[in-house]
Structure 1
Amino acid sequence: MFCNQCEQTAKGFACELAGVCGKNEEVAALQDALIHALQGIAFYAKEWQKHGIVDSQLDVFVLKGIFTTLTNVDFDPARLSAMVREAVRWRDQLKASIRQHGAMVEFKHASTTFEPASDDAGLVEQGRALQLIQSLDANEDIRSMKQILLYGIKGISAYAEHAAKFGETDPVVTQFIYDALVALGTDGLGIEDCVPVALKAGEVNLRAMELLDAGNTGRYGHPVPTAVQLGHRKNKCILITGHDLINLETLLRQTEGKGIDVYTHGEMLPCHAYPELKKYPHFYGHFGTAWQNQRIEFGAFPGPILFTTNCIQKPAPHYADRVFTTNLVGWPGIKHVEENDFSSVVEMALQMDGFTDDSDKGTVTTGFARNAVLGVADKVIDAVKAGAIKHFFLVGGCDGAKSGRDYYTQFVKQTPKDSIVLTLACGKFRFFKEDLGDIGGIPRLLDIGQCNDAYSAIQIAVALSKAFDCGVNDLPLSMVLSWYEQKAVSILLTLLYLGIKNIRLGPSLPAFITPNVLNFLIETYNIQPITTPEADLEAILSE
């Protein structure tokens, strides 16, 4: 296997024997075969659309297929194999449909004629033989740019798939994904060809996040600042983790009146701030924060656990029997439940003891999305003009187990008292309980929400730039970001598309970025690796 799509890749180069995430060679090969099969769909889908034919079911299947290959989403070989075969069936249907319209189109790319082996062992061998990453291009710099594009569309697909569940879709998104899959299989490209496509990925990701934001806020209202319990109370309980608000709503409805409290974990924390979710009295608190401690925390939780999306490693065996996953998430031996029926999770919660005591561990406040922040924009602007607020820091992104992420805790703790720290995504769990105080009643630490709420952060930055009649790069705003998986890549591409410069990125730079591509990013956008909190703060505040 060869996989370097996440920040924790082995030796800073690539996972070649087994993934640090737990992915084995069999799963890696099947994921590569799936991407290859989806490329075959893309070639014919682009041709299909020339005849004005669009199939929303196909679009959603492709989004799910790409999303499935994200880090820590699906490590179940049987499910991956089935998806590869379904992709080939879709491709062949497209071929037949195009021919019915009088077009006899053939393509040279191997994905358009790929036929999966009759058994799964043979399919795994086919996936290995593809050498998907190495085959992207013989030139390492072009291969690097194509990897950036591939990982970017993986992030886009995650957001677009969630948005589609709300009925929020845009053909611009899926059209670009088809274009990108075809571009990955196109030879003879130069960097000058790849850069516009990568920036287009950033533009499309902004649209995907906007669609998801519209779905979330349209159904549940705009988040409002909300104090969330970190302790627990005596009662039966269920823990839900991931990113999917619809699954959370379903769980809340199906546990209503049953004497079960629902707790969030990780990126589900901001869900407590949505008015239509807050109304459930048994939606109680947040349990578990740091990615690297999740096995300990989950093991300490006295109820069943429901995984709804990615970013979670395979559960430890000693409590895996009470873990459930929804359709898109998978590991061998873990129970799957339909996304509209969590009755088996509820039944297990009723059988287990749950919490047998009360514990007060204080609260944290979330819900500072764009409406909440812009609702007090006049106070923020006045505070800046008066000199009470002199700088804004956006410190957020992914969390992970690899050493070096304590940097973000130390950075936030050392930010000046006349500064505001905006944060989002699971990276905030390194410091989300820090008491930084406030400035004129405005908390110094503002939790904007999930990773996709980078859309809210961008809207806040744009609003501030308009208020001060300057560009975003001219604001006293610094971005210090952490990354782990592919959604972070898509968000970074969005920031670059918007022309935002001087981003500091860590804890290490992506292994798939070559020195020449890195130099391009430095020269064009002044992207910088993090160093030490002290040195970076001194440099930022002296700029």
Structure 2
Amino acid sequence: MSMFCYQCQEAAKNTGCDMMAGVCGKTSEVSNLQDLLIYTLKGVAFVNQEARKAGINEKNTDRLIMDGLFTTITNANFSDESVIERIEKALQERAKIKAALVDKGVMLGSDLPDYATWTAVRDEFINKSEEGQVGILSTENEDVRSLRSLVLFGLKGMAAYAKHAFQLNYQKDEISAFIEKALVATEDDSLGADELVSLVMETGKYGVDVMALLDEANTTKYGHPEMTEVKIDTRNNPAILVSGHDLKDFEELLEQTAGTGVDVYTHSEMLPANYYPAFKKYEHFYGNYGNAWWKQKEEFESFNGPVLFTTNCIVPPRASYKDRVYTTGSTAYPGFTHIPDRQDGGKKDFSEIIEHAKKLPAPTAIEEGTIVGGFAHNQVTQLADKVVDAVKSGAIKKFFVMAGCDGRMKSRDYYSEFAKGLPQDTVILTAGCAKYRYNKLPLGDIGGIPRVLDAGQCNDSYSLAVVAMKLKEIFDLNDINDLPIEYNIAWYEQKAVIVLLALLYLGVKDIKLGPTLPAFLSPNVANVLVEKFGISGITDVEQDMDVYMAK
């Protein structure tokens, strides 16, 4: 059995993983089942489009599609059983929608596409997943395949953000309807390159919308992030380390650990939880432990306590700590304990991981001191006068947006060296785990403004767009590209893809993307992005710095 997957930056030989396992560690069986899950979700989307017309769309359908797409994001779910269960649920949901349509007198006809009609028992899923019509390679035309992939991977990132907002009871039907429309469009052979390019841009538009929705959900529920010094050392209490992105899960864990003697630390993309006012009231919420996701093998070892993954970024574990890693939500890994989803109106039960923590030693310190973050759009707006004065006086010459993902490739040292090499009159705007390449460097400040302004998680790249639009307004400019802002984005997985598409929709040009351009961009599609938007790959620090500073 083999696979084909080229959705992340680590695609083998920058072409695609096509052996028995991916670079990320997922098996070919899981990869093929994930392809089948996507295929099945397209069928759910197809029939639910008719259900929407008949006025019978249900929130559970929207949730199922969001969760299914999220499940297939890189490093989220490595469990064949977990994916199989989702395929079964998708088939059941599709049948339920069809029955509801019949009750409404709506007949779908007999010429439906295979993805809207196929059915099987679970023992037959593997054979179905290996059929040529299910995976990415079922599209023969390279450019059409590339554009369909760009849309699909953007939808995966969009669904992740939509699900986080959904957890907080924030949803927009038009976002869910677009996800369904775009899923079906990736199977529509009548759409040529021009129509698919338009769909790519529309995906970027809804990427902006979903990030704005999640920003509204998070800030309404937890307050606006504020400038915060985050402790990165440890104290002598048993503890739980929380990784991933889901703030609702984090909130409920904090509530349930209060008064138990168990501390809570953030890890990787959960670091920005430290910036929200609502979480600061918990005395047992101590700080952040460790760095970006790819260093987890060493850091989970020394943390000593249990680890909770609320979303993606799992690395296949060492045996020495495998028995103290827990998953929840869309994530799963063979051998990890999975904490079930909350029932409607209820909360997740974290008692098992809390009791586990009580029996384990306190974390071993690996760092000391603090790091500063919390510069989402509201906080930066409060500093606007100071920032504008610094720009007008020449104290700040340029801003560099260095958002996105971190990863384990040696070539990503480029981003640390680039940050070190920036002139002292420049400021880095960042979001996502890319920040771990430079957020602990002694880069100083400019008149009290830190030279690294961390907005938060990858979805908080929206904040960076808001800041740019605000500066455009303040300086009375007609074009966002006239601002003294340069874009040097690192990517790894599909949430970075939707951030990129959102920036393109907003009209941002001349973005450098690295450490490699996506394998799913065919030469012709890459040329379109170069010609229309000025996208280019990184080269070396000195050469790229010269290009940026010459502007």
What is the root-mean-square deviation in Å for CA atoms of aligned residues?
Answer: 1.3
Contact 2:226 2:276 in 1 (8 A): yes
1:112 aligns with 2:110: no
Q: Residues of 1 paired with 2:535 and 2:283: CA distance? A: 45
**Secondary structure, counterpart of 1:365 in structure 2:** strand
Q: Residues of 2 paired with 1:247 and 1:315: CA distance? A: 22
Counterpart mapping for 1:181-192 below 5 A: 181-192=183-194
Instruction: Give the C-alpha shift of residue 215 in structure 1.
Output: 1.3
Contact 2:538 2:544 in 1 (8 A): yes
Counterpart mapping for 1:84-95 below 5 A: 84-95=87-98
Q: Residues of 1 paired with 2:317 and 2:327: CA distance? A: 11
Match of 1:397 among 392, 404, 417: 404
Residues 534, 88 of structure 1: alpha-carbon distance in 2 compared, 3 angstrom cutoff = same
Counterpart mapping for 1:79-228 below 5 A: 79-106=82-109, 107-116=111-120, 118-120=121-123, 122-228=124-230
1:30-74 deviations in whole A, cap 9, x for unaligned?
A: 101111111111111111111122211111111101111111111
The letter for the 2-side match of 1:5 is Q
1:122-161 deviations in whole A, cap 9, x for unaligned?
A: 2112101145344553211011000000101000000000
1:361 aligns with 2:364: no
Contact 1:306 1:324 in 2 (8 A): yes
Aligned position for 2:461: 454
Q: Residues of 2 paired with 1:64 and 1:161: CA distance? A: 7
Contact 1:29 1:125 in 2 (8 A): no
Length, aligned pairs only: 540
1:284 aligns with 2:286: yes
Listed as ranges, the gaps of 5+ residues in structure 1 are none
Match of 1:41 among 44, 50, 73: 44
Aligned position for 1:503: 511
Contact 2:294 2:315 in 1 (8 A): no
1:474-511 deviations in whole A, cap 9, x for unaligned?
A: 00100100000011111111111111100000000100
1:409-436 deviations in whole A, cap 9, x for unaligned?
A: 0111111111111111001111110121
Q: Residues of 2 paired with 1:218 and 1:108: CA distance? A: 43
The letter for the 2-side match of 1:427 is A
The letter for the 1-side match of 2:203 is A
Contact 1:133 1:147 in 2 (8 A): no
Q: Residues of 2 paired with 1:320 and 1:19: CA distance? A: 20
Contact 1:269 1:366 in 2 (8 A): no
Instruction: Give the C-alpha shift of residue 282 in structure 1.
Output: 1.0
Aligned position for 2:345: none
Q: Residues of 2 paired with 1:291 and 1:103: CA distance? A: 48
1:529 aligns with 2:537: yes
Overall identity of the aligned pairs, in %? 46
TM-score normalised over the length of structure 1: 0.97
Match of 1:436 among 409, 432, 443: 443
Contact 1:145 1:191 in 2 (8 A): yes
Match of 1:78 among 73, 78, 81: 81
**Secondary structure, counterpart of 2:362 in structure 1:** coil
1:520 aligns with 2:523: no
Match of 1:5 among 1, 4, 7: 7
The letter for the 1-side match of 2:444 is G
Q: Residues of 2 paired with 1:65 and 1:221: CA distance? A: 29
Structure 1 window deviating more from structure 2 (515-524 vs 307-316): it is 307-316
Aligned position for 2:490: 482
Listed as ranges, the gaps of 5+ residues in structure 2 are 342-347
Contact 1:395 1:421 in 2 (8 A): yes
Residues 305, 134 of structure 1: alpha-carbon distance in 2 compared, 3 angstrom cutoff = closer
**Secondary structure, counterpart of 1:521 in structure 2:** helix
**Secondary structure, counterpart of 1:361 in structure 2:** coil
1:244 aligns with 2:252: no
Q: Residues of 1 paired with 2:252 and 2:136: CA distance? A: 42
**Secondary structure, counterpart of 2:410 in structure 1:** coil
Structure 1 window deviating more from structure 2 (100-109 vs 49-58): it is 100-109
**Secondary structure, counterpart of 1:417 in structure 2:** coil
Residues 525, 342 of structure 1: alpha-carbon distance in 2 compared, 3 angstrom cutoff = same
Match of 1:23 among 21, 26, 43: 26
Q: Residues of 1 paired with 2:530 and 2:243: CA distance? A: 36
Contact 2:161 2:211 in 1 (8 A): yes
Contact 1:32 1:130 in 2 (8 A): no
The letter for the 2-side match of 1:111 is Y
1:262-296 deviations in whole A, cap 9, x for unaligned?
A: 11100111110100101111111111103332101
1:420 aligns with 2:427: yes
